[in-house]
Structure 1
C-alpha cells in the first residue's frame, strides 16, 4: 500500500500506527492472514477504517462489546471471510465489594488499578462505573489473569467475576456541565477555563503534545473548537464542547461545556 499521500492526512506521531495498520491490511489482502487487534481508541479505529476501505480485497469489523462502545477491537481479514459471527474475544470483568466506599471510586481508580497489574491500556476497553462497582470490558486473553489478581481498587478490597457480554451493565455518560464566556473558540482559551489554569500554564502541555481533540494530537493552542469536540489533556481529564450558545452583549461567546466525571 502506497502511503505517500496517506501520511499527509495524519499527525506525524500517528505515522507509526498508520504503518502498523497498513501492514495488517496488506497481509490480509495478499497473504490471507486474519488479524484481531487490541482495543483501539476512536482515532485509531478511524485510521484502520480509512486504510481498509482503500483496499477492496479485505473485510474488516469493529466491535467494542456493545453498540455505543468508544474503544473497539478490529478484525481484519481477506474479503471472502464472513466476519459478522467472528468472536471478538471480549470479556466483562465485574468488580464489586462489600465495602461501601466502592461507590466513591471513579473511572481513573479502576483503570489505574488494572494498569498497576502490568496490563497495557490496549487490552482494556470501556469502563462502566456503577453504584455498586464496575463492569470493565477486557480482552479475553487477559481476563482470567485480572479475575485472579485484581483484589484492590484504590484501597478498597474488591471481588471479581467474569460475565458474558449479555450481562454487561453500562453506565450513562456523566458530564459536569459548565457555562463559560470566552473571547473565542480557541483551544487554549476554553481549556484554560475548564481546567482552571492560566493561559500561560495551559500552553505548556498543549505544545508538548499532551492534548488531543477527538483523539487526535493537537499542538496548536489557537486551534478552533467546534460543537461536539472532545478534548483531553493528559493528567487533567477531558471535556466536551456541548453547545455554542451565541454572543453576549459584551461581544464574548457563550459556550456550554461538559467535563467528564
Structure 2
C-alpha cells in the first residue's frame, strides 16, 4: 500500500512538472503577443490550472479583446473599435505603422480609450486641424511611431455659389457621387459663397481633383491646398437652461430646438435625429452631460450640466449652435 501511495505521488509531481514546462515554452513562443496586454493580464505559473496548455493559452489571448472592449461605453461602436484594436495588434507585432480610415467621433473616442491600455502601442489621431470631428488614427509600436505621419490631404472646392447656395449635404453628396466612400472623407468646412474645403485620404486626392466638376447645379474646380491654409471658425453657440420632467431625448431636443414634442417624435420616426452621431430609434432614449443631439435641418445641441431639483425634475444646460 505504501508503494502504491509513493507511485501516485511521484506521478502527480511528474505530471505537474511537465505541464508547467509546456506552459513555460508556450509563453516564450507567444511572448510578443502576450506583451501587448501586459497591463491587463498576468498569468503567474503558480496560479495556472493544472490542465493549462495550448488550447487554454489561445483562449486567454482571444479573451483579451473582450476584456479591453468591456470599457467601451457606446455599444453601437464595439465592432468598429474591435477592428481598430486588431489593426493595432498587427502593427505592433510587425513593428510597422498602420492607419485607419476617417472615424466618426464616437468610434474615435472609444478607440483611443482602448488603445491607451496596450503596453507596446502608440496611437496618434489626426483630422487636419485641431477641432476636427472626423479623424484618422495611426497606430504602431512605440519605437516606430515617432512622428505624426502625413496621412491627410486638404482640397479646396470653389465655384460661384452667390446665386445658388449649396449646403453641407450638397457637397457631401457630390463627393460621394464620384464613387468615394464616406470613410475616406474627413470634415467638410463650408465657406459660404466661395465653396468649401475638405479633408481626404491622400491616395484619392488626385482622383477627386480630376473628377469633381459640379456641386448641385454649380460648376466647380477642385485643387490641393496646404493644411495650414484651412479656414476654420469654431461655431458660435448660445447657452440656456430648461427644467424638464426627464432627460429623455424627446424632452430635451424639443426644448433645445424649440419644436413641439409631437414634431420631434415624428423626426425620430423618420430617422432624422441622432445622438452622438448615431440615429435614435426610441423616444425614451436618456441623455447625459456631454451628449450631442443633431436634427436634420436644425443643427446641433450639446447637453451641458444636469442637476436634479428639489421637486424631482431636471435643470439642464443646453448649448446650441447658432
Map 1:133-172; keep pairs closer than 5 Å. 133-172=195-234
| 2:134 counterpart of 1:68 | no
Cα pair distance change 1:81/1:33, threshold 3 Å: closer
Q: Is the 8 A contact 2:160 2:218 kept in 1?
A: no
| 2:164 counterpart of 1:114 | no
Equivalenced residue count is 252
- TM-score, with normalisation over the residues of structure 1? 0.80
User: After the TM superposition, which segments of 4 or more aligned residues of structure 1 sit over 6 Å from their partners?
Assistant: 176-181, 244-247
How far 1:196 moved relative to its partner?
A: 4.9
* Residue in 2 that maps onto 1:101: 163
Q: Is the 8 A contact 2:292 2:303 kept in 1?
A: no
| 2:143 counterpart of 1:86 | no
If each structure's helix is expressed as a fraction of its own residues, which one has the higher value? 2
Moved more, 174-183 or 75-84: 174-183
| 2:121 counterpart of 1:58 | yes
SS in 1 for 2:175: helix
* Residue in 1 that maps onto 2:110: 47
RMSD: 3.2
- TM-score, with normalisation over the residues of structure 2? 0.66
* Residue in 1 that maps onto 2:184: 123
Q: Is the 8 A contact 1:211 1:232 kept in 2?
A: yes
Unpaired stretches in structure 1, ≥5 consecutive residues: none
If each structure's strand is expressed as a fraction of its own residues, which one has the higher value? 1
SS in 2 for 1:24: helix
Unpaired stretches in structure 2, ≥5 consecutive residues: 1-60
